[in-house]
Structures are given as C-alpha cells and as structure tokens.
Amino acid sequence: MSHEKRDEQADLLQGTLDLLILKAVSLSPLHGYGVLLRIQQISGEELAIQQGSLYPALYRLEHQGVITSEWGESENNRRAKFYSLTPAGRDRLQMETDKWNRMAGIIGNILRATPEKA
Amino acid sequence: MRSLFAFLRQIGAQVRSLLRALFQRGRIESDMDLELENHLESLIGDLIRAGHSRAEASRRARIALGSVLAHKEGMRASLGLRWWDELGADLRYGVRILRRSPSFTAIAAISLALAIGANTTIFSVAKRVLLDRLSVPHPEELRMLRWNGKELVHGIWGDFDSTQDGVTSSVFSYPLYLQLRAHNDTLQDLIAFKEDGMNATVHGNAQRIDAAMVSGNFYAALGVRPQLGRALQPSDDTTPGAGTVVLISDGLWEREFDRSPAVLGQTITLNQTAMTIVGVNPRGFTGVKNVQQAPDIVVPISMQPLIAPKREASLLNDPDLWWVNVIGRIRPGVKTSQAQAALDVQLQAAIHATMVVSPGDTMPRLELADGSRGLHSADRMLKKPVYVLLALTGFVVLLACANIANLLLARGAQRQKEMSVRLAMGAGRARILRQLFTESLLLAALGGAGGSLLGYFGSNAIPKLLTNGWERIDYGQPLDWGVFAFTAAVTVLTAVLFGLAPAWLAARSEVSSDLKETARTATRRRKGLGGKAIVALQIALSTLLVVGAGLFVRTLIGLNSVDVGFNADNLLLFEISPPARRYPHPKDVQLHQQLEQRIATVPGVEKIALGWIPYISESMGNADFVPEGETFDKTKRQAEFENAVGVHFFPTMRIPIVAGRDFGAEDTSTSPKVAIVNQALARKRFPNVNPIGKRFKADRESSNDWIQIVGICADTRYSNLHDDPPAQFFVPYTQQTKVGSMVYQVRTRMQPALLVPALRQVVQSVDRDLPMIDVRTQREQINATIQMQRALAALTTGFGVLALTLACVGVYGVMAYNVAQRTNEIGIRLALGAQPAQLRAMILRESTGVTLAGIVVGVTAALMLTRAVKSMLYGIQPNDPLTFASGILLLIGVALAASWIPARRAAGVQPMEALRHE
C-alpha cells in the first residue's frame, strides 16, 4: 500500500466512481475495502480514491438495484459485506462502458486535431 | 423502450430499498458501523504489514478514511433516509413549539376545527337537499311530465300550485297516461307512479307505511335490480286487482324481517288485501318521487282499486281524477324541447279522446321538467333556509381563516429573531421554510381531526333538526367526505399560507437587520396594520352573524308567543284512516263514533274531539260556501276553510262559543244540518248581519241540503302560526256523506307514552288492522311547523356565539401583541409624565377604533343582506332597529372586554422596567 505516492496519482474524474465500482464488482463479489484495493490494483496505483466517498457510492448503487450485497466471511475470517452485480447492474455497466468509450474516442479525436485538418 | 424499462426497474428497486431501510433501521445502522469498522481494521492491517507501528498505522488509517460520521450521513442520504430523519426532527420540534404555547395551539386548532366542521356539516346537508340525484342509473336522462292549465281539470289528487294564469301540476289521469305511453316516440317507455301512505299489517303489526304504486315497466325502464328476489314485471299490472305482489325496501326488510332471505313468499296485508313479497329493493334505493324519502314498498299500480280506493269506481279508467305522476328517460339525440312539443300534441289528442271538453275550456299545456331529482318538492321549502345557512357558514369559515391568519402573522413576527439566528447559524432558507411548513401542517392536522369529528356529529344532528319526531326518514350516510376534503384543503391552505408568509419574509431578510433591531425602537411601527385590518374584518363578519342570529331568534320568539286561539297544551293527536273497502259509508262514521265513545271512557282521557284537519299542521281543507241569496259562480272565489268535527270539538280545544249554541247530542245524522262559523267568517261573509239562523250550501259531493248556522266561535290560527286567523266553518262529521280518515284530538293530563298503549288497545279491539297514525302532541305538531325557524335560530345563534368568541380572541391577540411590542414606547410616555389611566384609555381607544370600523362595515353589509331573508322573518322587519342596536352594543362590549386586559397591562408598566425591557 503506497499512500506516499499520492502526489503523482490522478484524481478521479467526476462521475466515474460508479462506473469503476460496477466494473470492480463485475469481476467477482467484493467487500468495500476489496473494491478499493481492486480499483487501485487494476489502475496500477495511478488513481486516488477518497476512501470515505466509496461507501455512500456503494449504498447509492445498491439503492438503485444495480448491485446487491450479502454478508459473508472475508479472507481474514471477519464478517464482511460482499457486493456483486445484479442483472440490472450488468446492463448499466455495459451502457456506461459504451458511453465512456464513445466519449473517450470523441474527446481523443478532438485533442488529436492539427491546424491543417481544421 | 429499453430505457423506460430500466427506469421503472430502478424506481421499483429504490422503493423496496427505502422501505427496507425504514423498517429495518436498526440493522442498517449496525451494518454501516460494522462495514466501516472492517474497512478501518483491514487498512490498519495492511499498513502494519507495510512496516508501520500499530499506533502510526491506526493514525494514518483514520486520516485516510476521514470522518466516519460524515460517511454514515452520506450513506443514509444514499438510501433516501435523510429526508425522513429531517422530517422526524421537524415534527419533534414542531410538537415542542406547539406545546410550549398551548393557548395559541388550542385557539388555532379550534378555529380550524370549527371552520372545517361547520362547513362540512352544512355543505353535506345542502348537497343532499339541493344536488343529490335519484339512486337509479343515469338519473340525468329522466324527464318528469308536468302540465299547466285552467278550468279543465277539477279533480286533482297530488301536487298543484296556483300560478298567475291557472295551476301547474305533475299528475295525470290514468287513461291519459295509457294514451301518452302508447303514442310516445320521443321519450323511452313512460313510467307511471304514485306514492301514498297506506295501512299495512306486517307480522300482525298494523302500521303506516309509504307505498309506491308503479307501472309494470318501472324496474325495467329505470334499470334497477332488486337485491333479493325478482322485480315487478309488465305482466304484474295487466289485470286490475290481480297483481298481488310487492317488493319491500331494505329498511323494512331490516326492521320487520331481520334481513332473513325467507322473507320471499311471506305476505303483507295492505288495506285488507294480502300481498306476497317477491323481492327486496337495493339498499339506498330512493324510488323516483324524491331523493330524501324512499318508499317502504313497491306494488303494481293496477292494484289501486283494491289497496287505495278513492272513489266508488276504479281510478284506472276514471278520466276526471288526475293522480298519477309520469316520468321517462329521454331518447338519445332528442332535445327536451322537441320531446316536449311532441308530447304536448299527444296530450291534446289524449284529452280529447278521454274527456268531455266544453267549448270555453283552455287545454292544459305539457311541460317536461328535469326528473333527475324526482319531484323535488322539498326544494321549495328548504332551498332558501339552506342558502341562508350556506352563506352564514361561508362567513364563519372566512372568520375562522381570518383568525388563523391573524394568529399566525402575530406569531411569525414574534419568531422573526429566531429565524434570523437560524439563518446566521447556517440554516438554508428552504430548510427553514420546510420547518415552518411542517409546523403549519401539524396545526392543520389537529384542526382537521377536530373538524372531522365535528362534521360527523353535526351531519348526524342536522337532519334531526329538520325533521319531526314521529315521521321516519332515512337520511343514509349524511357526512360527505368530498365536502370534508374540500373544506379541509381550503382551511389548511390558509394555515399554510399565513404560516409561511412571515417565514418567507424572514428568510428573505438580511441576517443582521433583525438581529440588530431591538425593542428600543420607540416609534410605532406599521407592522401592526395587517393584524388590525384582519381584526376589523372579523368584527365586520361578527356583526353580520350576530345581527342575523338576532333576527332569527326574534322571529322564533315571535312565533312562539303567537296566541293560537285554542289551548294547545295537554293535547294528544293521532289519525285513524278506515280503509274504504271495509268501511264504506256510513260504516266509516259508525267506526269513528264507536272509537270516540270507547276512547272517552279510557282512564286519563278528559275529553276527545274528532276533526278532519289538525290545527297548525300545514294542512287545510275547503269547500264552496254559498249563503242563501248568493249564487254559485265558477269564476269567483267563494270557498272557505271547512272542518268536520265531533260534538265535543269546541270544549275539547277550549275554543269559546261567542254567540248562539254549540253542537250537541241533538245534532245527529238524521237531524237538520247545522254549522258553526268563526268570527272571521261572520265578518267576511255576513258584514253587519247576524249570521245565526242564516242558511248556506256547501258545494261538496252530492250534499245539496241547506245547512243552518247555529253558533259563532272565536277565531283561531289555522294551518300555520304566521298567517292571521282565516275564516272557517265547522260541521258535525256525523252529518257528512263521506268522512274517511279523521284526526283524534285527546285532552289528557297523562304522559302520552303512558296513555298511548291503552288507546292502541282500544283501537285494536275494534279492528286489529287499524294503525294509529302519526301519534304526536299538539305542541310537537306546532313545533314541527316552525322546525325550520327553530333550526335557523339555533344554528345562527351558534354561529353568532362562535363569531363573537373568534372576534374576542382576535381583538385580544392583536391588542396584547401591540402592547407587548410597545412596552418601550409606553415606558417613555410614563417616564415623561403620562398617567396610567391615560395609557389605558389610549389602548382602549385604539381597539375601539378598530371595532367601530368593523361594525360600520358589518352593519352596512347586514342592511343589504338581511333584505334577502325578509320572507323568512315573522313580526319584525329585516332592518329591525332593536336587533341592530343590541348587536352593535354587544360587539362593542365584547371588544372592550377583550382589550381590557392588554390595556390594564399597559397601564401597569413600570417605566424603569420598560426601558430596560428587551
């Protein structure tokens, strides 16, 4: 765990936390801390996530019915709440991913523009 | 489509989640704690593994995670719980605020409750009286046939009204009905009906019931299906006297048969004819005559000759007596005017086909009236009082709203500082508005609960005020929840508006301005003006209500002190109606004589008198009175009120004979015919002549003998209390060719409840199928005719007292607030040498100013509005000076009393205290 690297980490873009959480729990059921670790691990420690904002986001997603939770046993034998994707969540993840990719493509194209082309 | 599905799915999930969160709140909270704790533990574990000391790891982990409380708040917000939590807090705070000022809460809630309750009650009754329709499918299609005309129609058994050019009525002869029905092509099938009281014996129990005689197509054409058994069918009324079947009402089913299905096949005896019960009408079925009253039984009209004989022959083929009501549904697409024109042509043809028309006779013209409320005959009597009550309740509601507005405005001003503090401490304006909104709603809920209770009891009580004790009227469910919801919405809106208005102003004001403002502002501020205007309005409305109450109370007092001309105390009345088939003349006279003799011997009976017409009962009977020397003239009004009475009538009623002799044992059915006239008739028909010994002819039926006047009696009131005593003449019933039903007037000092069983026993021993009809005392009978005036006086007095109380509270509230606000000013005045008495006078002068302004407005309005109730008053003019003067004095007195306490408080202020006062 390398919290010292904070200065070099990228701040999360607004509104993307939900998408990242959906992606993280789509791979396998995770508890809250696990979601955090998974995102940091996949991003290669490049992303800084406000740890506290994770939980309101998880509750919001569960409230919307896109993830569901179940109490289980964690790796260090503690009772932990595991989140997993619902069918509605799978649809949402697909939709959000498509949207993100399209948006990224468009923004990328714009940023690649040169004076001659314009 | 897909996104809609996703959206709906999400809404469903959110509702489920919120409900779970609300109902499993404890588990949710402990889950949140555990989850955050787990997170912290895992993080600390990882940090220790990364080489930090336990203490350092714990410190870093806590920093990384941040405020647990804030996260939990965020998690609650995610679940939608935050809104609920705030609402709970608002409610708790609101309850605390309301409990801290109980008098404010009580006055505001009671004002609301009274407004909602009074309005709901009066509007429910009004809706029932003025708007409710018959309980049949599509009542709006129904058209009632009526006619207006002159000479042609002589025999009417039913309603009729004199107009400037003849009479208007809704009854036809049965042959006319058959003709109209056969040739009608603009209305759907025409229905004939006739409702009348009949003697029925149910389970050996003789009673008077309302019967509807109807044509066989009645149920089919109306689309009404019985709740049990079968309906009447056209085959039931094809042969006169053969359709001995009857449907009973839900009420009769419950009263007499305990809702047993075995009722089908049992019999009811109607005027000696056994009728088999074949069905039970649906609950709440009104019939088609009117909305307020439902017939107890429905029978085929072809049974008339047996169960309701009127003349020797059957009415079913009598073209001269007009008696049946006719109603039908209009055909789709046909205009009422077209149908009326077509039916009028049919009526002319039918009259020519069934009656002898003399050359000079004018033909009646047919009219189609709205039949959705039946004949709505009660309308004429009730419409005006109900409108008056509606207007008065409107004023009460306005008054209550003004009171609430006044209270809330004063309170809002008081709490201005609290709001500023809240704003200064960072509360959002929306949040503050929501808080105040919650408080207003709490208040409204209290008022609404009280109002619904009042409305419930009121709606049950009002019909009792409007009906007499001896007739049974089923009013159904009188409380109208639609009306309740409407009133509640209006008053609650008032509360919310006036609760929020000051809050809105407070929330818009700059934080510092109100905090800086102190009570050291010595000058009078304009803020009080809104309050004073409202109080003036309250006084004006109270003036109106108090004056109105005064007028109706004076009317009632006037009516109660009318000298009726006979002794109305200790008189018991009931009717005996011998069925014509069993008691054809002269058996009816013999029956009455037998009953009269037997009843006279019952212990407790002092005297007994029979008569056709009970006094002060809105009933009347007349006959042409043609003295010797005059000739009968069809165009002149020669009819006078007539009563056929028993021998002991005058001593029983305690009406003095002023000249000549009383009836006596010598006046029998075979002796010469005699009569007694009253003084009014003597003055009117025999001016300057002694009428005793004169002879006259009473043009009734076949009696063509001369009748000799043998005495003159004193004048009495006749059908009601407010008309002056009319001319009347009296004949012995034993000398009449046809008598029918008679009213028995029994003078007794016994309690009616104790005497009636003995009387009933006597009647039953003579004929066990004879019921005693409408048993009541003469006092009850008189009170019934002024029921409306009594109800009006009671209700308007109630409203008046209510108005005075509210105005009193209003004046007190505004003046007390005024004095409290001006403590500093008063202190300075005192310090500068003002005398306490001067200050007291100053405050009283101010309140009197407001009161007088209100009274001027109120009196002006009252002078204009009371003119509309002129016809409902007795013995006084609408601008009765005494009523107005006492009303004004009362209001000034009440206003002075209400401002006395604040004035004394102002006079008692200590200058030093006042200047230090903050």
More confident residue, A47 or A94: A94
Mutation site, A38, A59, A66, A98, interface B, largest B CB count within 10 A? A59
Answer yes or no: do A65 and B16 touch at CB < 8 A. Answer: yes
% of chain B at pLDDT higher than 70: 92
Residue B829 confidence (pLDDT): 87
Closest CA of chain B from A17, distance in Å:
14
Residue B377 confidence (pLDDT): 67
Mean pLDDT is lowest, of B279-283, B295-299, B428-432, B571-575, for B428-432
**CB of B80 within 8 Å of any CB in chain A?**
yes
The Cα–Cα gap between B279 and B226 comes to: 6
ipTM of the complex: 0.84
Could you report the per-residue pLDDT of B211-229, keeping only the tens digit for each?
999 999 999 999 999 999 9
Residue B150 confidence (pLDDT): 72
Average pLDDT of the residues in B383-402: 84
Residue B208 confidence (pLDDT): 82
Contact B134, B372 (CB under 8 A): yes
Alpha helices in A1-118 (DSSP H): 17-27, 32-42, 51-63, 87-112
The angle, 0 to 180 degrees and rounded to 10, between the axes of the packed helices B787-821 and B528-560 is 160
Touching A: B residues 31-50, CB under 8 Å: 31-32, 34-36, 38-39, 41-43, 45-47, 50
Average pLDDT of the residues in B764-775: 87
DSSP string, B799-840: HHHHHHHHHHHHHHHHHHHHHHHTHHHHHHHHHTT--HHHHH
Residue A117 confidence (pLDDT): 54
Residue B309 confidence (pLDDT): 77
In a domain? residue A66:
yes
The Cα–Cα gap between B610 and B315 comes to: 29
Q: Is the pLDDT of residue B513 over 80?
A: no
Q: Is B689 exposed, middle or buried (0-12, 13-18, 19+ CB in 10 A)?
A: exposed
Measured in degrees and rounded to the nearest 5, phi and psi for residue B697 equal -115, 135
Chain B positions touching A66 (Cβ under 8 A) are 10
**CB of A70 within 8 Å of any CB in chain B?**
no
Q: Is the pLDDT of residue B709 over 90?
A: yes
Buried b (16+ CB within 10 A) or exposed e, B890-899: bbeebbeebb
The Cα–Cα gap between B614 and B620 comes to: 8
Residues in chain A: 118
CA B774 from centroid of its chain's CA atoms: 23
Query: Residue A21's domain spans which residues?
Result: 3-112
Q: Is the pLDDT of residue B522 over 50?
A: no
DSSP code of residue B703 = B
Mean pLDDT is lowest, of B302-311, B522-531, B682-691, B810-819, for B522-531
The answer for residues whose C-beta is within 8 angstroms of residue B88's C-beta and 6 or more apart is none
Which chain A residue lies closest to B15 (C-alpha atoms)? A63
Average pLDDT of the residues in B737-762: 89
Average pLDDT of the residues in B446-451: 85
Nearest alpha-carbon partner for B40 in A12, A69, A54, A4 = A54
Buried b (16+ CB within 10 A) or exposed e, B609-647: bbbbbbbbbeeeebbbbbbeeeeeeeeeebebbbbbbbb
Nearest alpha-carbon partner for B302 in B400, B389, B214 = B214
Average pLDDT of the residues in B879-905: 90
Residue B581 confidence (pLDDT): 78
Q: Is the pLDDT of residue B328 over 80?
A: yes
- The count of other CB atoms within 10 Å of the CB of residue B523 is 8
> Which pLDDT band holds residue B643 (cuts at 50, 70, 90)?
very high
Average pLDDT of the residues in B571-588: 87
Contact B610, B653 (CB under 8 A): no
Mutation site, B11, B19, B39, interface A, largest A CB count within 10 A? B39
Answer yes or no: do A74 and B38 touch at CB < 8 A. Answer: yes
Average pLDDT of the residues in B906-914: 78
Contact A62, A36 (CB under 8 A): no
Q: Is the pLDDT of residue B918 over 80?
A: no
Residue B478 confidence (pLDDT): 55
Nearest alpha-carbon partner for A93 in A56, A53, A66, A60 = A66
Contact B515, B417 (CB under 8 A): yes
The Cα–Cα gap between B791 and B799 comes to: 12
Q: Is the pLDDT of residue B546 over 80?
A: yes
Average pLDDT of the residues in A22-46: 86
Answer yes or no: do A3 and B41 touch at CB < 8 A. Answer: no
Answer yes or no: do B67 and A50 touch at CB < 8 A. Answer: no
Nearest alpha-carbon partner for B315 in B156, B198, B152 = B156
Average pLDDT of the residues in B869-873: 86
Q: What is the largest CA-CA distance in chain A?
A: 62
Residues in chain B: 918
Q: What does the block give as tokens for B653?
A: 């009623």
Task: Indicate the average pLDDT of chain B.
Answer: 84
Total structural domains within chain A: 1
Q: Is the pLDDT of residue B629 over 90?
A: no
Chain A positions touching B35 (Cβ under 8 A) are 31-32, 55, 80-81
The answer for residues whose C-beta is within 8 angstroms of residue B435's C-beta and 6 or more apart is B90, B93, B94
CA B428 from centroid of its chain's CA atoms: 49
Nearest alpha-carbon partner for B300 in B211, B199, B215 = B215
Contact B713, B678 (CB under 8 A): yes
- Most confident among B339-353, B382-396, B828-842 (mean pLDDT): B339-353
Element (H, E) at B371: none
Residue type, B635: T
Chain A positions touching B50 (Cβ under 8 A) are 1-2
Q: Is the pLDDT of residue B517 over 60?
A: no
Nearest alpha-carbon partner for B801 in B459, B536, B541, B542 = B542
Could you report the per-residue pLDDT of B42-87, keeping only the tens digit for each?
888 888 988 888 899 889 888 888 888 888 888 888 888 877 888 8
Q: Is the pLDDT of residue B510 over 60?
A: no
Buried b (16+ CB within 10 A) or exposed e, B390-421: eebbebbbebbbbbbbbbbbbbbbebbeebbe
DSSP string, B598-628: HHHTSTTEEEEEEESS-TTSS---EEEEEET
Of A55, A62, A76, the CB nearest to B45: A76
DSSP code of residue B425 = T
Q: What are the C-alpha distances in Å from B505 to residues B303, B308, B525?
A: 76, 75, 16
The answer for residues whose C-beta is within 8 angstroms of residue B670's C-beta and 6 or more apart is none
Under 8 Å CB pairs connecting chains A and B tally to 88
Nearest alpha-carbon partner for B862 in B551, B555, B556, B543 = B543
Q: Is the pLDDT of residue B2 over 70?
A: no
Residue B511 confidence (pLDDT): 53
Q: Is the pLDDT of residue A1 over 50?
A: no
**CB of B165 within 8 Å of any CB in chain A?**
no
> Which pLDDT band holds residue B905 (cuts at 50, 70, 90)?
confident
Mean pLDDT is lowest, of A100-104, B21-25, B167-171, B683-687, for B21-25
Beta bridge mates, B777: B572
Q: Is the pLDDT of residue B285 over 70?
A: yes
Could you report the per-residue pLDDT of B112-147, keeping only the tens digit for each?
888 788 888 888 777 777 777 888 899 999 999 999
**CB of B10 within 8 Å of any CB in chain A?**
yes
Buried b (16+ CB within 10 A) or exposed e, B900-910: bebbebbbebe
> Which pLDDT band holds residue B606 (cuts at 50, 70, 90)?
very high
Residue B134 confidence (pLDDT): 86
Residue B307 confidence (pLDDT): 85
**CATH number of the structural domain spanning residue A63:** 1.10.10.10
Residue B342 confidence (pLDDT): 92
In a domain? residue A43:
yes
Residue A3 confidence (pLDDT): 44
Which chain A residue lies closest to B74 (C-alpha atoms)? A56
Residue B523 confidence (pLDDT): 43
Answer yes or no: do B78 and A60 touch at CB < 8 A. Answer: yes
- Cis amide linkage into residue B586, ω under 30° from 0: yes
Residue B521 confidence (pLDDT): 46
Mean pLDDT is lowest, of B46-60, B321-335, B697-711, for B697-711
Q: What does the block give as tokens for B807?
A: 């105005």
Half-sphere exposure for B639 (CA within 13 Å, toward CB) = 11
Nearest alpha-carbon partner for B861 in B471, B465, B398 = B398
Answer yes or no: do A65 and B10 touch at CB < 8 A. Answer: yes
Nearest alpha-carbon partner for B323 in B336, B314, B332 = B314
Report CA Rg, chain A.
17
Alpha helices in B24-67 (DSSP H): 25-49, 54-65
The Cα–Cα gap between B853 and B895 comes to: 12
In a domain? residue A117:
no
In a domain? residue A118:
no
Could you report the per-residue pLDDT of A63-79, keeping only the tens digit for each?
888 899 888 887 777 78
Half-sphere exposure for B385 (CA within 13 Å, toward CB) = 24
Chain A positions touching B10 (Cβ under 8 A) are 64-66, 88
The Cα–Cα gap between B913 and B17 comes to: 59
Q: Is the pLDDT of residue B482 over 80?
A: no
